[in-house]
Amino acid sequence: MGLLVNIDNGGTFTDVCISDGTRVVHAKAPTTAHDLTQCFIDVLTLGSRELYGEADFGRLIRDTDCLRYSTTAGTNAVVEHKGTPVAVLVEAGEEQTLYGAKERLGGNELWQAMVPEPPAGIHVTGDGDINADDLLRTINTLLANGALRLIVALRSKTAEQNVKAELLERYPRHLLGAIPFLISSELVEDADVARRMVTAVVNSYLHPGMEHFLYGAETICQDNHLHRPLLIYRNDGDSARVAKTTAIKTWGSGPRGGLEGAIAYAKLYDEGSVLAVDIGGTTTDMSIVFDQTVAMVPYGDVGEVNVSLPMPNLRSFGLGGSSIVSVSDRAIIIGPESVGASPGPACFARGGTCATLTDALLLCGVLDPDKYLGGQMTLDLARAEQALLRVIGEPLGIDAQAAARATIEAFEKASGDNFARAIRDGGREPGDTCLVVFGGGGPMIATGIAEAAGIKRLIIPRLAAVFSAFGIGFSHLAHEYQVPLDGADPQKIVTELRARAERDMYGEGVPPEDCKYESRLWGSRDDIVVEAPLTDLAGFAAEVDHVRVTLKAVFELPTSTLVKDDVDGFHAAPVSGSATLLGSAEAGAEVPTYDDTALAPGHIIEGPGLIRGDYLTCLIGVGWSLRVTSNLDLVIEAQRHG
């Protein structure tokens, strides 16, 4: 078997995780938002150096059997409102009402960025017939107003197909003047016309930028002789080649990778209630894993709009290592604005002057200035001190060290409050829930955050710094299809979906007969997706809303692996040195430090202690005990809890 390579392209850093079957190596590179192709190449080059001892991008690609990739491009376009604007065609009379969605979309900044001009209307009869001349005049007006892409969102499929036929006849796709268009009912099946319209708009808004970048990345892989097509990881937890991926399904795919890893960990450690938390440079993403599954909402949100696709019940808030810290009414405020990787925190010495959590952790002695990102970057202690003193210390009348500690405490409290609220909203208690925390900023002050939330047990994965990339490696090549039941014969629907699935899997380059096919009933109850076997139709239909038939086609790929925990003896971990933590309650107190590469199964650490490594920093607070599992994960439990 060749190499398994997973890439998670985040807002601040791009991570890679590489497995050769016997070991796993990883690397990080700053995300180059202006050109995502560059950080794609950079992180693979760094990964090749970790694997081979020298940088060899071409060799890494040639040796790779499966390359899965999750990109932040779609998320960035939504957050920054930097996609390609679209024109919308609706039924006459709905130009202003938008099928009843005007009230929630009228003042929506994302909608205004996606659809800068009012939608145009055409007349549609009750049978779905349209007037070809009316359509032609409307389209010509849209083109004259600068429309680059068109969404067709009509009530009936028949009407939409009639429009499609006319567009293909009047504007053949082989002509340079052809306008790219999307038929909303071909993208999603949803009786809610407004939601279907919005879904199609988002997809078309993201499509050009995604297409340009992803095909560029695929070309790079092909030029370097990747054995199989580049696979794009989606927000439904599966992967597919670029040509078979819809743009909207890349939105939020990185956090979903962390969720897949958290599900695997819930099974590995037999945890019934898990809060999965990814603390990155820009945001903190969290989701509840109950009974080793992730709750899905039937109609998820993309940025500020509701769409027709199910998505994980994921919460995000603007707290991360690069979040900007400020003071308002003598209270420390963290985020939601972030400085990202460029210019980055003040300590990056790249021109940034804003104070951040990273600056505070450096000044308090938690971070080693010479080992950040495996030594790729040296942090500037003086710049961190200046920023914290100016932004926090002077307004509050305290010195820089006290400002750093106050910043950390504010981050712990804000994060802890969010964690506890999410757990209780799910019907569980923090004390009965295990925190699985990862991301570049996740482990650093995890025990402080857990204590603030009332959580007594947490797990830090051995690959916490690149855990979302690692989690992507549990995905398979798959496609899922949904059709509303609407009184039809479920078996007939399954037969039709099976034929469609086999065509798509053939298009993926895999034998359809080697795939697994599973059909189920799908519905929603209390805004959560529920599923059941087809044989349970009568009872299921009476208990849920929006009943559909689903079919999923799966071609299994080599996946990430975990080691079952069977440690039968424990002994103290070797101490590598000591560090002075400043700005703490015991200013100037020294704590033992531990080299993360020296930790082995069965090692234990009693807090306080500080684990330091190239990509892992973890402060173990007083009253917490850590043990290393067979999988080299860190399980930390509270010995006393105030």
Q: List pLDDT tens digits, range 107-165.
A: 788 999 999 999 999 999 999 999 999 999 999 888 888 888 999 999 999 999 999 99
Tokens for 437, please give them.
């925390």
Q: Taking residues 478-482, report their average pLDDT.
A: 95
Rounded distance between C-alpha atoms, residue 331 and residue 546, angstroms = 46
pLDDT over threshold 90, residue 486: no
Sign (positive or negative) of CA dihedral 515, 519, 524, 530: negative
CB atoms within 10 A of CB 116: 12
Per-residue model confidence (pLDDT) at position 642: 43
pLDDT per residue as tens digits for the range 294-315: 889 999 998 889 999 999 888 8
Mean pLDDT of the chain: 91
Per-residue model confidence (pLDDT) at position 147: 86
**In the chain, where are the structural domains located?**
3-78+210-233, 81-209, 477-555, 571-638
Rounded distance between C-alpha atoms, residue 137 and residue 121, angstroms = 11
pLDDT over threshold 80, residue 173: no
Q: Taking residues 30-51, report their average pLDDT.
A: 92
Per-residue model confidence (pLDDT) at position 462: 94
Per-residue model confidence (pLDDT) at position 454: 97
Q: Taking residues 11-35, report their average pLDDT.
A: 89
* b (16+ CB within 10 A) / e for 288-324: bbbebebbbbbbbebbbbbbbbbbbbbbbbebbbbbb
Nearest to 231 by CA among 69, 368, 23: 69
Per-residue model confidence (pLDDT) at position 373: 78
More confident of the two residues 605 and 376: 605
Per-residue model confidence (pLDDT) at position 187: 95
Rounded distance between C-alpha atoms, residue 214 and residue 447, angstroms = 39
Per-residue model confidence (pLDDT) at position 317: 81
Per-residue model confidence (pLDDT) at position 10: 82
Q: Taking residues 156-182, report their average pLDDT.
A: 87
Residue 515 CA, distance from chain mean position? 27
pLDDT per residue as tens digits for the range 493-544: 999 999 999 999 999 999 999 999 999 999 999 889 999 999 999 889 889 9
Q: Taking residues 413-434, report their average pLDDT.
A: 93
CATH topology of domain 81-209: Rossmann fold (3.40.50)
Quote the Cα angle for 73-79-83, to 5°. Answer: 60
Rounded distance between C-alpha atoms, residue 329 and residue 469, angstroms = 40
pLDDT per residue as tens digits for the range 375-402: 778 999 999 999 999 999 999 999 999 9
Is 287:252 a contact under the CB 8 Å cutoff? no
Per-residue model confidence (pLDDT) at position 196: 96
- For residue 89, the surrounding DSSP H or E stretch is strand 87-91
What percent of the chain has pLDDT above 70?
Answer: 98
- Topology match between the domains 3-78+210-233 and 81-209: no
Residues found in the chain? 642
CATH topology of domain 3-78+210-233: Nucleotidyltransferase; domain 5 (3.30.420)
Contacts of 107 (CB under 8 A, 6+ apart): none
Contacts of residues 569-576 at CB distance under 8 Å and 24 or more positions apart, as own/partner, are 569/602, 570/602, 570/603, 570/604, 570/627, 571/602, 571/603, 571/604, 572/603, 572/604, 572/605, 573/598, 573/599, 573/603, 573/604, 573/605, 573/628, 574/598, 574/603, 576/612
Give the bridge partners for 436, in sequence order.
276, 459
Nearest to 322 by CA among 362, 370, 286, 376: 362
Per-residue model confidence (pLDDT) at position 641: 46
What percent of the chain has pLDDT above 90?
Answer: 71
pLDDT over threshold 80, residue 587: no
User: What Å distances lie between residue 134 and 92, 169, 624, CA to CA?
Assistant: 11, 15, 72
Per-residue model confidence (pLDDT) at position 586: 45
Rounded distance between C-alpha atoms, residue 229 and residue 240, angstroms = 9
